[in-house]
Structure 1
């Protein structure tokens, strides 16, 4: 469990994964050297990982789905097989109607259909249920959310050097400009300018992925909601609730799917109850995450 200073450092890294040690020192009231030492320790212990989350349109990934998987036999065996697929970003073994749930991204609907067909063919998979995303309202690990404007469609597409930088940032969001410049063959000044442009245009959001136990998050769940009327207002209200870290609307058995985390089961139950009580919600189904089998948002091959 993090102490108050480490927790403040982690919160700052979640807001801006490339924040300087000097700025971290100012924000937390400690010396620059102490900030550096504490962040280094957090990274070495894997209590936090700083990575770049690349916008889906930059990656050319236009199809997102939440998939529930029914398994015959040992769900761990099937989870290992599914975790090996690049399209699977998040995978969890759960307690609920289905043994596994996965979040997937693909280039387009046809590519997503191909991925779903491949999952159906995995030994041990008895069947799948697919929730196709219409709008990603809130994403726990990107700048997506009700308060953040969408990425401009006029933003210039990344060139080869940009993509090389994005690939490196996906693996290590705090890689120095000197190291980045050496890897992509540019000057440090040119590299810095490109990275800042990619961040400011929201092509990438550099953030801290925090180990749940390190911040006291010991319970996590998902919930699907059916609504009477438009889903968008309910989704916005859900995204504003404390403890809700993921919201998307779409088509399938639900009208929206949410992710929830909490420091204990009582707080988790409270958040689930508040979601069920939202105006317009007429039905719900929840599942508890027992083991996160995969959480990997790197979608560009490293250079």
Structure 2
């Protein structure tokens, strides 16, 4: 029961990291007291952290890609180089023909080319395969729409974003104390940042077993009925991330579940979708970096 409740709570927090205990209680159909106890346990144990992420375009990041890296010899030097790279916002050791995957976010495709060239030059890197995101259909920290053209931030907005990047569930009262605004003014500003797509608040999960913390990456090749197939994949339970890509796959996804059996069953469901012509998968063994925050300049 606890594992199932944790799974539901993690999914709810991934959708809305600032959901109140009452809202979470309704979302998972469980008593408020049980919900508050389990959420606090997930946060205290480090299984889950809730953070805010600014829209990539607000940060000037317009080229996004998924890279798979095959390594010869120990992975530590390659991992260390990636962890130290500002371009890499997500890094995971994986199973399969590649050993490491990373998500890169950079200002332009020229910057992306240079970042990948630098990665290829690292000692121990045998090969790099790149998937450029065409559009993101579903993602906890990926925008589903373009940044609103009229969004303007002041120094207070930037302060709020920076505070929420560290703790996405920081109470409005605490945010008010840091900014000098009233709690109601802070609430209005935070809600506006989220509604305007400038900010997303969600849960980051430590992948270490139990409670929907097992994850698998999937690369899908599609036939002629690609739109229908993508819609069917998006509707499946456990899909945390889904994007159309240019490269060896037409679509990539991240799926999460409580057990390896559930992951296998989900991949079989995707294989059976009309329009799916091929599928490859890889298990996420350990996440070494998941950090999306960047310094933010105030727009005039």
Distance 1:91 1:160 in 2: 31
Partner of 2:164: 169
Q: Does 1:81 align with 2:81?
A: yes
Query: What is the aligned length?
Result: 295
Q: Distance in 1 between matches of 2:52 and 2:121?
A: 32
Task: Find the partner of 1:267 among 254, 262, 267.
Answer: 262
| Correspondence 1:198 to 2:193 | yes
Give the distance between the partners of 1:155 and 1:196, measured in 2 at CA: 16
The CA distance in 1 between the partners of 2:106 and 2:247, in whole Å, is: 18
Provide closer, same or farther for how the CA distance between residues 223 and 38 of structure 1 changes in structure 2, counting only shifts above 3 A.
closer
Distance 1:162 1:270, change over 3 A: same
Cα 1:28–1:144 shift into 2, 3 Å: farther
Task: Map residues 82-231 of structure 1 onto 2, 5 A cutoff.
Answer: 82-139=82-139, 141-142=140-141, 150=145, 153-213=148-208, 215-217=210-212, 219-229=214-224, 231=226
Instruction: Flag the 1:107–1:273 CA change in 2: closer, same or farther, 3 A.
Output: same
Relative distance call for 1:24 and 1:227 in structure 2 (3 A) is: closer
1:43 and 1:270 mapped to 2: Cα distance?
29
Query: How many Å apart are 1:118 and its aligned residue?
Result: 2.1
SS in 2 for 1:110: helix
Whole-Å separation in 2 of the counterparts to 1:29 and 1:142: 28
Q: Which residue of structure 2 aligns with residue 66 of structure 1?
A: 66
For structure 2, the 5+ residue unaligned runs are none
Task: Check conservation: 2:22, 2:32, Cα contact below 8 A.
Answer: no
| TM-fit CA distance, 1:226 | 1.7
**Matches of 2:203 and 2:111 in 1, distance apart?**
30
Q: Is this contact kept in 1: 2:214–2:259, CA < 8 A?
A: yes
Query: 2:55, 2:143 within 8 Å by CA — same for their partners in 1?
Result: no
Residue pairs, 1:4-83, within 5 angstroms: 10-21=10-21, 28-31=30-33, 39-83=39-83
Question: What is the rounded CA distance, in whole Å, between the counterparts of 1:91 and 1:203 in structure 2?
Answer: 24
RMSD: 2.9
Cα deviation, 1:97-125, whole Å, max 9, x if unaligned, reads 11111111111212222221221222211
- The residue matched to 2:113 in structure 1 has which SS? helix
Q: Deviations over 1:190-238 (max 9, x none)?
A: 3322111111222212222233447533542212122223644332221
Give how far 1:59 is off. 2.3
Gaps of 5+ in 1: none
Cα separation, 2, equivalents of 1:225 and 1:5: 30
The equivalent of 1:243 in structure 2 is 238
8 Å CA contact retained: 2:143, 2:197: no
- Per-residue CA deviation, residues 55-112 of structure 1 (Å, 9 max, x unaligned), is 2222222111110111111123311221221221221111111111111111121222
Instruction: Kindly state the Cα deviation for residue 179 of structure 1 after the two structures are TM-superposed.
Output: 3.1
TM-score for the superposition, normalised by structure 2: 0.85
TM-score in terms of structure 1 length: 0.84
